[in-house]
Structure 1
Amino acid sequence: MYRDELIRILQICREQEDPFKVNVIDLLDRIRKIFPLIKTEEEINLDLEALLSLSDVILKQEDVLEHRTSLLYVDALLILLKLERMSLKDLAESLRRNWRPIVEARGINPNFLSTALDYWGSKELLGKEISTSPEREAEISVELSEELEKELKRIREEIKEEVDYHEFIRMDPLRRAYLISILATRGDISLRKDPITERITIVPSPSTGEKVSMAIEVI
């Protein structure tokens, strides 16, 4: 007779992520009223499980309160208020100090190439010494930057409609993932993640919603 109601109480206790959204007093009062009326062994077991689940909810509430009173906890509302009072310059400086790229290219870049040239310039290779001037190093840096921009433009032109992220980078995962991360950081494109299927797609237009960081496993 009361089986379904007890099961519902169990579901509320177990499925609610925020323990403070569970009305412990009301549910406990309902269990107290049901107990004298139950007749089957199954209902008695369900009643006991409901009580234990409510106890777990209370323990979770205690844990949350303990965490929030610790020195390491900062309320989200306080952070929001502080952000609203910060100037654009302060926000930009905070971003500069704390931003970490989602993906980085561990390949050839101007610094890597310069280090390699310095190394081989001090060695004899096939009987010849290799050296490079500061002017040539600057030229190489510009050439690499221009080549990167060309690649970014080519990748951007490939994205004409919403496409699956992993399918898009499949041909050259590390390189294409790096280029996509740059385009997304610039705001030229946006990434979308389905909360149910966890499928990630690339959208050719910038996101109009809240911007969040997204760590993606490439390989």
Structure 2
Amino acid sequence: MPGACVMELANLRFAWPRSQGDCLNIAALRIAAGERVFLHGPSGCGKSSLLSLMAGVLLPQEGHASLLGQSWRDMRVAARDRYRVDHVGYIFQQFNLLPYLSVMDNVLAPCRFSALRRMAAARQSGSITCDAQTWLDAMGLERALWSRPARDLSVGQQQRVAAARALIGRPAVVIADEPTSALDEDRRAAFLQWLLSACDEAGSTLVFVSHDRRIAEHFPRQILLPSINEAVAAEAAPA
């Protein structure tokens, strides 16, 4: 069951430099602990920008975005970076693996930068390496691949490594930005099942962005971004 508020946006306005208007104008959005949220909408409606604001990568010009009760705006850049790696597992659309590092070293990367996730991983599995193995197994990645450089893997395999990296140390929130866009139907279904089961096991809130509405049925909460983004509504309104 969903619990206390994990993410909150209030009176948020965000615009890119030199843009003609706001990209995002959201009066309120709250996401509770343990929720599975499917965020969707057409290209250009601000989905990726919203994820970056949720994770403190971007800051709004007005209003606030907070994680676990802490406003991103109240932290300096270095503090935001530390807080993000402590509490957010991010699955990027392009995965952003380090191509020259092994699969195992890519998965362990968050524990190198976050003492909190390192301690959580060791407490859960005995060591950070054992925790990495747990998530790679959970993602169905063959053990023969774990020592290979990430660049040698297929797109689907890299995707599973990125998910294991996001989950190590059981962060409070996992954010997934179009992670299934390059997969065929069978691989998409398998990956989604791995990810949902792993987030349940970790107790992580999942915010999942996709344009593929067939995925939506797996998520109890679905948010059409244009329905809460007044900037899109204003743009669509007749003059």
User: What TM-score do the two structures reach when normalised by structure 2?
Assistant: 0.19
More helix by share: 1
Bigger relative CO (Cα 8 Å, ≥ 6 apart) = 2
Query: Larger radius of gyration, structure 1 or 2?
Result: 1
